[in-house]
Structure 1
């Protein structure tokens, strides 16, 4: 069984980016993010995938409306949650959902954990992290100099088999 985990850096406003870039940079956050996702498949939207560099040791599972139009060595292109979960399962037991906004929303009901870097930024941006909901509870908090990573657990994740095909 595959475990999906969301991971994001989120400003106080809920912002995660402006659609083109992430408008802030925290070296410690980048380091903990890379350490956490290394060696795991990552589920990512096509635009986010095209705009970021790959973390060493990850296998991108790229969600797009037209997966047949793309081909890239060491990446899998899919269009549904079920196909993404199957692609993650082919690579390992844990997959990290790394964005963008619509991908977080799409996979939120199926995720078992979320690692949210609470950043002190107050910028308003066009892309936001979705509300986790009442099924989620905080299970841990790791303080860094400028931010904290809060671990959340979904008490009732949906099985990926329940996702639309």
Structure 2
């Protein structure tokens, strides 16, 4: 059984980030992300969390990290497997970055994508997903 859901905005060339930042500003997409994830668990990598800088309100933030990462108001986990029990009674959204998406997509039942209709420069890319999702 696939326990997680993934959510992302990606450019036509699969870019999701540039210099640890989102390379576009789409207020409507931020509103949609908030609507979809409020009240649920967000899972992200350390670098993605550092780009945000703080836990997002009204959501449980879990940072996946192999280091001794610590931040007030944030839970940490060393692997996705540690998070499987949480998914039994709560929605768990995978929300970046590239390495975390690559690890987590095989464990996701749903994928929510916003397609940014342009090609942008970047250094973080969303992994192939077309064969796993309709």
Fold shared by both chains (TM-score > 0.5): yes
TM-score (norm 2): 0.90
Q: Which runs of 4+ in 1 moved over 4 A?
A: none
2:95 aligned counterpart, secondary structure: strand
- Residues 71-114 of structure 1: CA deviation (Å, up to 9, x unaligned): 3333211111111323x348x42100000000000101000000
For structure 1, the 5+ residue unaligned runs are 138-165
Which has the bigger relative contact order, CA under 8 A and spacing at least 6?
Answer: 2
The alpha-carbon distance between structure 1 residues 19 and 101, as it changes in their structure 2 partners (threshold 3 A), is farther
Who is 1:55 aligned against?
56
Query: Is 1:2–1:85's contact at 8 Å kept on the other side of the alignment?
Result: no
Alignment: residue pair count: 133
Separation of aligned partners in 1, 2:79 and 2:59? 20
Shift of the alpha carbon at 1:2?
Answer: 7.6
Residue pair 1:13, 1:122 contacting (<8 A) in 2 also: yes
Shift of 1:121: 2.3
Structure 2 unmatched ranges of 5 or more = none
Corresponding position of 1:145: none
Greater Rg over alpha carbons, structure: 1
* CA distance in 2: counterparts of 1:34 and 1:101, whole angstroms: 20
Query: Within the alignment, does 1:112 sit opposite 2:113 as a pair?
Result: no
In the alignment, structure 1 residue 123 sits paired with structure 2 residue 120:
yes
Shift of 1:44: 0.3
Alpha-carbon distance between aligned partners in 2 of 1:125 and 1:28, rounded to the nearest angstrom: 21
**RMSD between aligned residues:** 1.8
